[in-house]
Amino acid sequence: MLKRFEKVYGIDLGTSNTVIFERGKGIVLNEPSVVAIDQNSGGILAVGTQAQAMIGRAPAHVEINYPLMNGVIANFDMTTNMLDYFMKKIQGRSSLLRGSKVYISMPCGITNVQKRAIMETIVHKGAKKAIAVEEPVAAAVGAGLPINEPIGHLVLDIGGGNCQVAIISLGGIVASNTLNRAGISIDRDIMDYVKRKYNVEIGERTAENIKKQIGTANASAEERSLEIRGRDMVDGLPRSITITSGEIFTIVDDFIKTLVQAISATVELCPPELAGDVIEQGILLCGGCALLEGINERLCMETRIPVHTAADPLECIAAGTGMML
């Protein structure tokens, strides 16, 4: 009887976003994994969406902190405080993990030390039990794939901090590959490109906006342009420039080639029977960069394997942890 009233959560603790699933309610939170710190007092000024709005606009005494890097915890205390804030936002009071059971997604291939840091963070918040779920497995479950059958499924999760390629069969990962290059690295490449070509410095939010609005993986896509503003590196004054989708394609193109190499390396590690299944079942694409224009068609053309995007690529990992409850 008590188990019916036990709080059970599924948490996708990502580099860019944290998504929380609550049993009986579904997805209850989806916010950026960002914390703003007042360096004078050491106190937290903002977390999540409010902290993200401060990026590039905060005074010198405000530090914008990313508690996770490449899908693993970089700052234990900051991650704990961030989770406390999110749980308080969900339920209206803090320490709500106390006595609850938590399923938390983790990147495949991380070390035992990194895994233990994530588990201890959850237990530190008072959870009765913390259960690790590998992100590609959770994504496959959230997308509705029959992972417990003896059939190979290839999952490509392109998150903010890393990319994970995994072949799943009989409920487990047979072969996997992880790249510490993903959505955030594309943003930084865009910032470097604009600085190098136009002598203009732009912020992270502007770079991300460029990626979302005119970023494309399709070389033959219709040319689009976007006016952006930044700081001229010569005279230090504000300056506007116009950047085209063709310029962004050159940046995305290099990233796509890296993805294709990772997919090929992963398929080489699995048995031939599963490789045959992958060709038949196709690639499941999830994560924030799954929304990049033309990425499906480009990956299909490069790998000669059908590519399908999850119905909700941003939330399918958290939803998968929820379904595994």
Mean pLDDT of 125-149: 88
**Residue boundaries of the structural domains of the chain:** 2-138+318-323, 146-309
| Phi, psi of 70, rounded to the nearest 5 degrees | 55, 35
Return the CATH superfamily for domain 146-309.
Answer: ATPase, nucleotide binding domain (3.30.420.40)
Alpha carbons 244 and 75: distance in angstroms, whole number: 37
Question: Residue 20 above 60 pLDDT?
Answer: yes
pLDDT higher than threshold 90 for residue 306 = yes
Is pLDDT at 109 greater than 90 in this prediction? no
**Whether residue 220 has pLDDT greater than 90:** no
**3-class SS of residue 38:** strand
Question: pTM for the full model?
Answer: 0.89
Superfamily for domain range 2-138+318-323:
ATPase, nucleotide binding domain (3.30.420.40)
Between 155 and 117, the more confident residue is 155
Coil, helix or strand for 175?
Answer: strand
Token pair, residue 14, equals 């990502």
Q: What is the pLDDT of residues 49-94, one digit of tens each?
A: 999 999 888 898 999 999 998 878 888 889 888 988 888 888 765 5
Burial class (CB in 10 A: 0-12, 13-18, 19+), 115: middle
Please write the tens of the pLDDT for every residue from 243-295: 999 999 999 999 999 999 999 999 999 999 999 999 999 999 999 899 999 99
Mean pLDDT score, 191-203:
96
Categorize the per-residue pLDDT at 199 as very low, low, confident or very high, splitting at 50, 70 and 90: very high
| Cβ count within 10 A of residue 25 | 11
Contacts of 12 (CB under 8 A, 6+ apart): 18, 19, 20, 21, 104, 105, 135, 138, 315, 317, 318, 321
